[in-house]
Structure 1
Amino acid sequence: MQIMDRKAKSIDEYLSKVEPQHRAELERIRALVKQLVPSVEETMSYGMPTLTYKKRSLVYFTASKNHMSFFPSSWAIEELKAKLQGYKTTKHAIQFTLENPLPNALIKELVLNHVRDIDADRQ
């Protein structure tokens, strides 16, 4: 990924600076989340592409030099920890690569888990 002299103002601008193979993978995730939750809105937060739901961050996604990251929520990561064993995780992020991408079914579970928590007004 190129070093950005200024922060991207939109997800499209962010993705335009990402290497093509990583861009395609992040576009797949973006499209899947929008299909699962049609009411999401796109924004940038903390310099990261962000999809919001009911005015709250639902997911973030980023590309780094050696991996990509998906940020569904610390609650979703904790709840689905057993299904994430093949991935490096932090409290807030799941790191993945082109060789070991996140399957659609897992993304769906993570996203819908967080939607449920937002609907329940979990803070």
Structure 2
Amino acid sequence: MKKKESSTQSNPSPKTVDDYFAITPEPARTVLEKMRAAIRSVVPRESTEVISYGIPAFKHKTVLVWYAAFANHCSLFPTASVIETFKDELEAFTISKGTIQFPINKPLPIALIKKIVKLRVQNAQS
């Protein structure tokens, strides 16, 4: 049985996104910073960053996407319907109903992350 992988974060939960990054060890922090920049580049300018469910998220009226660091990967949580839309492009990654895992030892697919977040933003605005 595969052991459930835990977040790189320790208790208590961070209060701000900066706090989250401050306690995220390398190399996950660098990968997560790249993911954060990719997300930020496509969400509405008025979006804010919040901690939701103990992890960073971008919010504009509603939470658009969550993202987090773990021991061996960084995850993006763009909702199940968005993942379903991109399932063919995500074959190289571990996915579940609402999560995409990007290994921290491989380059992030920045263009794909941007496409995924753009669709999530469109869905949230409709």
Question: What's the TM-score, normalizing by structure 1?
Answer: 0.89
Match of 1:16 in 2: 22
- Can you give the 5+ residue segments of structure 2 that lack an aligned partner in the other structure? 1-6
Distance 1:40 1:78, change over 3 A: same
Deviations 1:66-114 (A, max 9, x none): 2221111211100010000000001010011123343111011100111
- Can you give the 5+ residue segments of structure 1 that lack an aligned partner in the other structure? none
Match of 1:44 in 2: 51
The offset of 1:52, in angstroms, is 0.8
User: AA paired with 1:15?
Assistant: F
Out of 84, 87, 94, the residue aligned to residue 93 of structure 2 is 87
Q: How many residues align?
A: 119
Match of 1:117 in 2: 123
Matched, 1:103 2:109: yes
Match of 2:70 in 1: 64
Larger RCO, structure (CA 8 Å, separation 6 or more)? 2
Matched, 1:33 2:21: no
User: AA paired with 1:118?
Assistant: A
Instruction: Give the 3-state SS of the residue equivalent to 1:81 in structure 2.
Output: coil
Question: What's the TM-score, normalizing by structure 2?
Answer: 0.87
The offset of 1:117, in angstroms, is 0.5
User: AA paired with 2:124?
Assistant: I
